[in-house]
Structure 1
Amino acid sequence: MGSRPRDFTPYLRPMRTAFEFCLPTAANVVPAGPDWIHEIKYDGYRLRVERQGKTVRLFTRNGHDWTKRFPWIVEAALKNREQHFVIDGEAVVLGVDGVSDFDALHSRRHDNEVQLYAFDVLALGGEDLRELPLSLRKTNLARLLRGRPDGMFVAPFEPGEIGTELFGAACRLGLEGLVSKRRDRRYSAGRSKDWVKVKNRTHPAMDREF
């Protein structure tokens, strides 16, 4: 489906079977400058979607297999024309206002409504993309989910210069906060200073960590 630009070739490696999450570092100040991009932090469960042919599996940050728990995400993954991919994102329940509702998610009463807020792609078409800079992985993700069915949506992002303003807007809207990422860095397993999370201190998520 033409999912990788020609200039990806020097970075690509055969896909490895083991994937681990990149975890953001907590901070009090939103980083600024052209090397950063910013994403709204949706309040949900971190989730990795792995598709191999006709098989889709969903894994949590703690390694739990939640494939049967969120059928809408599985259905969306299977409807994609691409047969092999690994996507990193957040499982969320969205309210009528488009804001994620953690209480609804945590209640288990809305499992059929859970969607994936997708913000990274780690593998595509049998190729491991983790060595690519984030900016190119974002390009791949947008192409992979272009014309996507309901159940998965691409996380929008903004350039580094407006990070502080975006964080202020997120707080005023009652959102969880902001995740800022270095646009030129690879995807690294474990805690990373290239991903920075700044939380809205008035949000309920300040009192918990999943």
Structure 2
Amino acid sequence: MTKPPRKPSQPLLGDVDAPIRSRARRRRDPAQSQLLLDPMPARIEPCLALLKSRPPKGPQWTFEVKWDGYRLAVHIEPSGVRILTRGGHDWTERFPAILAEAKRVPVSTAILDGEAVVLDAQGRSDFGMLQQSLGGRGGKRTSRDAIFMAFDLLYFDGHDITGTELVSRRHLLEGLVPPGGEEAIRLSEEIDADGEKLLRIACEHGLEGIIAKDRNSPYRSGRLGDWVKIKCVQSDGFAIIGYEKSTASFGGIGRLLLAARKGNDLVFVGGVGTGFNERSAGELRQQMDELIVGKPAVDIGRKRNAVFVRPKLVAEIEYRAWTHDGKLRHASYKGLRDPADHSDLYEV
């Protein structure tokens, strides 16, 4: 890896001429007291982006496209490759193209953080296409269309580098996944631009939004503000608590009834009646009809022709804004989130 960092940064782990050492994450075997390697973690909780309405300003922020897919971690070891979802589920066999490409990455051990996506004809990530390639929610098909957009490197050649600043992690990542590739593992490239201008261009091209990341931040699990997401159109997960019947709509679904989390409870946030096609509505109706209950999980007021279900299904919903009384405005159904994706419900 001879490519220098784009901008000057602190050395990765001290003197560049000294052997690379890093702090052990657990006690080492005394018989291997001279071993200068960190144990490879079985799993690292992902760093999550905090939703903001506008891009942050300042020279410490770098930007990327926001990808709409499944968050994955690709673990590369001499014994093989594991592909884990955000919730820690092993989906290695469901992404054969990503698996095959991971075996060709020029490294002995590594953990790559990124997003599995399926791209449309314009090169935009399409969550619905990804779900279809996997057989829908709860489907067991393998996806040969999915590619992995890598945007961070957490473990590299025997060393835990989560405590290192992003600019150095990215430098190492680009040595493994060069920019401009067309393989099943590709680099989510950084874009040096004004955040407001970049967001406007992203929205004009029909992208979901952008991600801003603090160049100097270590990799910290959770939603702590080191990464920020700014969306062109809001899109979040909401619990399905029922539906209104209609003889004129696909699957007989006139409108889904939705709820968000408020503390430890759920609260009604309105409904959505667009975004379905014949196939998605039919599959959704079949799953809802297996969850029918006699009364709604939350107070929804008086609804005609309503069928209530246990809040086990999480729908991804696009929406433009909120009404003054806390209901979704201009909502559209995108698909069901898989439980293995460990998606959070929107919190009001």
Is TM > 0.5 for Structure 1 vs Structure 2? Answer: yes
Q: CA deviation at 1:20?
A: 1.2
- 2:238 aligned with 1:206: no
Give the direction of change, closer, same or farther, for the CA distance of 1:73–1:136 in structure 2 (3 Å limit).
same
Corresponding residue number in structure 2 for 1:131: 163
| Superposition pairs of residues 7-86 of structure 1, within 5 angstroms | 7-10=11-14, 12-13=22-23, 14-17=38-41, 18-86=43-111
1:158 aligns to 2:162 (yes or no):
no
Letter in 1 for 2:176: L
Query: Would you say the 8 A contact 1:118–1:153 is kept in 2?
Result: yes
| TM-score under structure 1 length normalisation | 0.90
> Which residue does 1:180 correspond to in 2?
212
Given that residues 13 and 164 in structure 2 are in contact (C-alpha distance below 8 angstroms), is that contact kept between their aligned partners in structure 1? no
Shift of 1:112: 0.6
CA contact (8 A) 1:176 1:205 kept: no
Change (3 A) 1:77 1:205: farther
Deviation for aligned residue 1:12: 3.7
TM-score by length of 2: 0.55
- Report the count of equivalent residues: 209
Once the two structures are overlaid, the 10-residue window that deviates more, 169-178 or 195-204, is 195-204
Question: What is the letter of the counterpart of residue 206 of structure 1?
Answer: E
Residue identity matched to 2:191: E
Of 109-118 and 26-35, deviating more is 109-118
Q: Which has the higher contact order (CA 8 A, sep 6+)?
A: 1
1:143 aligns to what? 175
- Alignment identity in percent? 34
Segments of structure 2 that go 5 or more residues without pairing to the other structure are 15-20, 24-37, 136-141, 236-315, 320-333, 338-342, 344-348
Q: Could you tell me which amino acid in structure 2 is paired with residue 185 of structure 1? A: S
Root-mean-square deviation over aligned CA pairs: 2.5
Question: What's the CA shift for 1:149?
Answer: 6.9
Higher share in helix? 1
Is contact 1:134-1:185 (8 Å) kept? yes
Is the alpha carbon distance of 1:174 and 1:149 closer, same or farther for their aligned partners in structure 2, counting shifts above 3 Å? Answer: closer
The structure with the largest alpha-carbon Rg is 2
Q: Cα offset for 1:81? A: 2.1
Alpha-carbon deviation of 1:144?
A: 1.1
